[in-house]
Amino acid sequence: MLIRSAPHSTQPSVLSSQYSATGMSDNQPPEGFKRPDRYHILGVMDYSHIAFWIGLVITGLGFLLLWAGGICFRWRAYRNLPAWDGATRPLLRWGLAVSVIGLAIFVPVLYHLYWVAS
């Protein structure tokens, strides 16, 4: 059971009785427990994990823009309009640029995390 008794109670909690049986008190971490050297705002995520998610989101946004450019091209071709006019070219240009930037962030961080994990 992981339920502690109320602070004003005179009875020991379940956790404190387990710790006292093993020689530990409530205030001490278990033996072998190492506190992290630094605490991050986002908990256990460090900068490489944050860069991983930022790169993944930017890459996804770039692919989304490329997809929107393709949809615009098909819609204009279906309506018998000049398919490369309108928003098609800007969407494809921005989609390509954002995808390349996202991959430039995502791939090296993924490579770094792969070597850190192995």
Contact 116, 51 (CB under 8 A): no
What is the number of other CB atoms lying within 10 angstroms of the CB of residue 118?
Answer: 5
Residue 30 DSSP SS3: coil
Average pLDDT estimate for 71-76: 95
pTM for this model (two decimals): 0.61
pLDDT tens digit sequence for 23-70: 555 666 677 776 655 555 555 667 888 899 999 999 999 999 999 999
pLDDT of residue 47: 82
Tell me how far the alpha carbon of residue 28 is from its chain's centroid: 32
| 3-state percent helix, strand, coil for the chain, nearest multiple of 5 | 60, 0, 40
Whole-number average pLDDT of the chain: 79
